[in-house]
Every structure is written in C-alpha cells, then in structure tokens.
C-alpha cells in the first residue's frame, strides 16, 4: 500500500525539483521539446478521438446500442491514453540526451555524489545502449499490438482497456527510470528485473505520469518533472540499486 502512494509522491517531488535554481538550466530543453510536441499535436488528437467515437457509434447494431454508454467512454479514455502515451514516447525520444543530463543533475542535488565516467566508458556503453533500446522496442511491440487489436473489439475492449492502462503505466516508469539507471550503466533487462521487485511503485508512478499527460497545460511540464521524479526514486529507493541475482 505504501508504494501506491509513493509513486505519485515522487512525481510531485519532480515538479518541486524543477523550481530549484541549480536545476532550471537543465529543464529548458526538455521543456521546449515537450511544448513543441504536445502543442503541435494536441488539437489533432482530440479531433481524431471525436471522429473515432462517432464512427464507433455508427457501427454498433441497433440491438447493441445500449452498449454505447459503456463502449464510447472506454474508447475515448483508452484512445487518449494511447495517443498521449505515443506523444510521450516521441518527446522522450527527441529529448533523451537532455533528459539523461537532467537525471544526473537531480541525482547530484539529492545525493551530493557526482557520477564518474569518461569518454572510454561512454564508448563502451554505445552498443549496450542501442541493444537495450531495441529490446525495449521489441518488448513494447509484442505486447502493445495484441492489446490494441483487442481494444477494437466491442465489449472485449473493456477488459483490454484495463490491461492497456496497466501496461502503459509500467512502460512509463521503465521509460523514465531508464535515465538515472542508464547513467549507472544499467540497461533494459536489468531495469525490468529491478522494477519487478516493486510493481505497485512502478504502476503508481507511471499511472500518475499518464494522468498528468492528459491534463491541459500540466502536460507541457510533465516530462522534465517525471525525469526528476524518477531520479529521486532511484536515489531514495535502495532496493532498486541492489543488483539482481544471476542464475
């Protein structure tokens, strides 16, 4: 139960950290990327959802029209989650280098320890980083595609929506914790293994991030806040810092 509250708490701490004078300069570029992505696509998203819900209603047989009170709200909510999750992935992809720097700056502010590394370490991490991102993409596609297909089936999409929300929340946390963890040379397989120790923490943090991405104005600031919140989680949750057992 503590983890359910802790997840949103870390996101709120992330918003608070953005106001610190020593971190403001690291926030500018991620914030600008988020403004451009969300500002440019938000109008299109709401129009698409409105058109989609009208189309769905037109395809329901007359004898199933009573289901519209259940199917349409589920479709609208799920569509918004899918779309804004896609926006977040795009924004994170563009801002990834700046988000890693922000996570490092937050960790230094909270722990007082600077990360050690040189250009040789950076070069060593290039291939593992690329492979990690490819594994993450494959992991996402293999789960997202079947869920998205189920979302198109009336009645079944009610259950699929719950599964999609849980999966999206999980992936949000994986995405944002990637920045502080990758700064410590931990990549997707190890990240996932460590997060599995605290599933409620992962779902509650990712769920609160998803909720904020759907709130106008607030969604412009959520990406840097989530990066800062994930870095705070990494610093304070010692269990995430413990290596998983091999074999």
Dump pLDDT digits (tens) for 88-125. 777 777 777 778 888 888 999 888 877 765 555 556 66
The answer, yes or no, to whether residue 163 has pLDDT greater than 80, is: yes
**Nearest of 84, 82, 105, 85 to residue 227 by alpha carbon:** 105
> Are the C-beta atoms of residues 206 and 7 closer than 8 Å to each other?
yes
> Are the C-beta atoms of residues 214 and 165 closer than 8 Å to each other?
no
What count of Cα atoms within 13 Å lies in the side-chain half-sphere of residue 29? 13
Whole-Å CA distances, 90 to 38, 95, 107: 10, 9, 24
The pLDDT of 24-44, averaged and rounded, is 73
Instruction: Give residue 204's pLDDT.
Output: 96
3-class state of residue 61 by DSSP: coil
> Are the C-beta atoms of residues 228 and 177 closer than 8 Å to each other?
no
The pLDDT of 153-182, averaged and rounded, is 86
* pTM, two decimal places: 0.77
Taking the C-alpha atoms of residue 207 and residue 39, their distance in angstroms, rounded to an integer, is: 22
Residue 176 tokens read as 């944002």
């Amino acid at each position: 139960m503590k983890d359910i509250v802790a997840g949103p708490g870390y996101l709120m701490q992330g918003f608070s950290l953005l106001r610190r004078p020593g971190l403001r300069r690291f926030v500018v570029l991620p914030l600008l990327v988020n403004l451009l992505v969300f500002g440019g696509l938000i109008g299109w998203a709401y129009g698409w959802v409105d058109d989609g819900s009208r189309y769905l209603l037109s395809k329901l047989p007359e004898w199933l029209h009573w289901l519209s009170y259940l199917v349409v709200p589920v479709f609208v909510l799920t569509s918004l989650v899918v779309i804004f999750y896609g926006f977040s992935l795009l924004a994170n992809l563009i801002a990834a280098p700046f988000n890693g720097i922000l996570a490092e700056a937050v960790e230094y502010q909270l722990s007082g320890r600077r990360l050690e590394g040189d250009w040789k370490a950076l070069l060593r991490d290039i291939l593992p980083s690329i492979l990690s991102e490819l594994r993450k993409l494959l992991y996402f596609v293999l789960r997202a595609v079947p869920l998205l297909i189920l979302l198109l089936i009336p009645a079944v999409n009610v259950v699929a929506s719950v599964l999609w929300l849980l999966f999206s929340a999980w992936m949000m946390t994986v995405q944002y914790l990637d920045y502080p963890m990758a700064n410590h040379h931990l990549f997707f397989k190890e990240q996932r293994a460590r997060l599995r120790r605290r599933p409620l923490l992962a779902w509650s943090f990712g769920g609160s991030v998803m909720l904020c991405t759907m709130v106008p104005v607030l969604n412009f600031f959520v990406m840097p806040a989530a990066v800062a919140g994930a870095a705070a989680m990494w610093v304070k949750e010692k269990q995430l810092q413990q290596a998983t057992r091999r074999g």
